[in-house]
Homo-oligomer: A and B are copies of this chain.
Amino acid sequence: MRASLHPVLEFTDRPCSWQSMSDLSATSDPVLAGFRNSIDNIDAALIHMLAERFRITKAVGAYKAEHELPASDPGREERQIERLRKLAEDAHLDPDFGEKFLRFIIDEVIRHHEQAKQVG
């Protein structure tokens, strides 16, 4: 490192970090950058939660197959939807979206189970 009489100028001479692809928020607006950082943290949490959920549903699939339990349980699904709609409402989230989200996840679970059948 060499000394500089104009450290601030020298800093601004470099490419700004928000121009770099590695900086996700990529904006010169500090308020927008803050919002984007929060969104990115939440997205990372969501992805890890989903990974854990699918780990469990895979274990459920294996357990049900091993113990000859029925693969689907329509009553359980109905109760899950009812509960998630209520939770969504309490969190000021559109209950229809809450239900749509659960169906999106369940579709993926079914896809995993079908894949497992083809492999097994």
Contact = CB atoms under 8 A, between A and B. Distances in A.
Contacts of A87: 43-44, 47-48
A83 B43 CA distance: 10
Contact of A35 (B26, B47, B60, B80): B60
A11 interface: no
Interface residues of A, number: 52
Nearest to A108: B97
A119 interface: no
Interface of A: 21, 24, 26-27, 29, 31-32, 35-36, 38-40, 42-57, 59-60, 63-64, 67, 69, 73, 75-76, 79-80, 83-84, 87-88, 91-93, 97-98, 101-102, 104, 108
